[in-house]
Amino acid sequence: MIKRRVHVAAAAIFSSDGQQVLLARRPSNVDQGGLWEFPGGKLAPFETGFEALKRELHEELGLTIERAQPLIRVHHEYPNKHVLLDVWQVHGFSGEAYGREGQAVRWVALDELFSYPFPAANLPILRAVMLPTEYLISAEEDDDAVFLTKLERALKEDGVRLVQLRAKRLDEAAYIARAEKALALCREYNVRLLLNAEPELLERVDADGIHLTSDRLMTLERRPIAEGKWLSGSTHDRAQLEQAARIGCDFVTLSPLRTTPTHPDAEPLGWHDFQQLVEPAGMPVFALGGMTRHDANHARAVGAQGIASIRDFWK
């Protein structure tokens, strides 16, 4: 049987405070019926994704889309068809959403999303919706007090919402002590903290997750931490991206986009190769390596979740 290929444009429509997204329930008599979805539908012949998005959201919800940005593209094999979900993040719209086709429509808080039943293809979309566009990787810093001052500045002034604690020079005891302090600060600001450490460390420090180095990533056979925690990994090529998907990483960094002082000998990917790798990854990908916040829009235009950086946030 030759599978039908379906190209769908769908929207993550955010409330003005960014804390809720709009979900719709698929009618019980259609494919994936009764499950919740991001509103949208199939591209008509010769339509672009954005044109289809605008038309579908008007037809289904009575909304007029003003501004949108690509969020993630997800390929999924259902038994009867291959679906490409081309998901956009909608920033500006007018109108009051209602189910014009009789479907239930609901604003849902981001931290309640996982309690809704979605089609199988939607897991990467949920991750992308819940993750910010910037991922701070902490710099080597010998002194805990200096470390905390710089971290707090980034949380307060740059509005960073996702942090990886990277500290290769600290021994285990010093790393744990720093992690506890960093965690207390992150909790104050409602920020997620991932430990760049052995997954077992999560049993001793109750952080939000683990970031795997590419070496650790490649040695694992399965996801090493609970589903309720976040698992990210460092990747540099297709094999590592495939391994990240195999063990169930929630998202990854892909580097180096450019040459950097910390990794002067690594061959940079450049935007072209980066883009080729992102779409098949099937999960949110942060561009890393010489990235600043000025690159975030470009990164998103080529399919990334956003940018990860040490230097741009560490001042």
Retrieve residue 174's tokens: 């010093």
Kindly tell me which of 83 and 217 has the beta carbon lying closer to Mg ion. 83
Query: Is 80 annotated as belonging to a binding site?
Result: no
Kindly tell me which of 99 and 132 has the beta carbon lying closer to Mg ion. 99
Retrieve residue 194's tokens: 């991932």
Q: What minimum distance in Å lies between the beta carbon of 107 and ligand 8DG?
A: 16
Kindly tell me which of 32 and 275 has the beta carbon lying closer to ligand 8DG. 32
| Neighbour count for residue 214 (Cβ, 10 Å) | 18
Q: Which residues pair with 67 in a beta bridge?
A: 92
Strands 20-25 and 105-109: antiparallel
Query: Is 93 annotated as belonging to a binding site?
Result: no
Residue 279 burial (C-beta neighbours within 10 Å; 0-12, 13-18, 19+): middle
Query: Is 96 annotated as belonging to a binding site?
Result: no
DSSP 295: G
Kindly tell me which of 99 and 268 has the beta carbon lying closer to Mg ion. 99
Residue numbers 12-41 binding Mg ion by CB under 5 A: 41
Q: What minimum distance in Å lies between the beta carbon of 85 and ligand 8DG?
A: 6
Residue numbers 172-231 binding Mg ion by CB under 5 A: none
- Tallying the residues shown for the chain, one arrives at 315
User: Quick one: what does residue 88 bind among Mg ion, ligand 8DG, none, with the CB cut-off 5 to 8 Å set by partner type?
Assistant: none
Longest dimension (CA), the chain: 63
E-strand spans in the chain? 4-13, 20-25, 36-37, 40-42, 64-77, 81-94, 105-109, 134-137, 162-165, 192-195, 209-212, 230-235, 251-254, 285-288, 306-309
Query: Is 39 annotated as belonging to a binding site?
Result: yes
Q: What minimum distance in Å lies between the beta carbon of 40 and Mg ion?
A: 6
Q: Does 70 bind Mg ion (CB under 5 A)?
A: no
**Chain positions contacting ligand 8DG, by CB under 6 A:** 6, 8, 10, 30-32, 37-38, 40-42, 83, 85, 119, 121-122
How many residues touch Mg ion under the rule CB under 5 A: the total is 1
Residue ranges at the known binding site for 8-oxo-dGTP: 26, 37-40, 122
Residue ranges at the known binding site for Mg(2+): 40, 60
Residues lying near Mg ion in the complex (CB under 5 A) are found at 41
